[in-house]
Amino acid sequence: MKGKPIRGRLLAAAHHPADLPKLRPVVALVGRSNVGKSSLLNRLLGVAAARTSKKPGRTRGIYFYETGEGHYLADLPGIGFAQVPSEERQGWMALTDAFFTRGGVGLVLRLVDPRAPDAEADSTARDYLADLGIASITVATKWDRLKASQRRAARLLLEARHGEVVPVSAKSGEGIEILRRLIRRRIAKDGSDG
């Protein structure tokens, strides 16, 4: 029996391409470790769901969560593109490649820490996604840490580098509703054929 969707429920964890669930549309969160990804995921889900994917020593995988809003959130650890130790990289690349190329990913949120940007990794991710025709937006995390006087300059810099940027704070909640709305709009635009 197919139950009512429970927001924040972990639906699947994929460690190999064969494990990837046929859920769609999926909104994927990517970003380096410590960028604030788990905190944002929890905020978006409204529950502390991502804790399950934060266990130390876990193998790298892609975790899929129910949002109850007609789309799913996928948590990709690490940047997924550059930061994986070499012995793990091949398996990880095979998994992320399969995830992004087989369809179903409606939008990617590329998380950046405005105080610790990594332009090279960020542009690698953006180019990779653009080549696949997957829409992505930059989400600037931990926005509460910037003083009011720093925000304008920080935003302009990020926009010059990344295009569209949504500043958010998982701590204060600032920007979260804007991001939610943006996700819904993008997914709706995208979902007509899928």
Judged by CB under 6 A, does residue 145 bind ligand GDP? yes
Judged by CB under 6 A, does residue 169 bind ligand GDP? yes
To ligand GDP, the closest distance from the beta carbon of 112 in angstroms equals 11
Radius of gyration from C-alpha coordinates of the chain: 16
Judged by CB under 6 A, does residue 170 bind ligand GDP? yes
# residues contacting ligand GDP (CB under 6 A): 15
Task: Work out the angle between the directed axes of helices 119-131 and 148-162 (0-180°, nearest 10).
Answer: 40
To ligand GDP, the closest distance from the beta carbon of 56 in angstroms equals 12
Judged by CB under 6 A, does residue 171 bind ligand GDP? yes
Task: Work out the angle between the directed axes of helices 37-45 and 176-190 (0-180°, nearest 10).
Answer: 80
Judged by CB under 6 A, does residue 33 bind ligand GDP? yes
Judged by CB under 6 A, does residue 36 bind ligand GDP? yes
Judged by CB under 6 A, does residue 151 bind ligand GDP? no
Task: Provide the binding-site residues for ligand GDP, judged by CB under 6 A.
Answer: 31, 33-39, 141-142, 144-145, 169-171
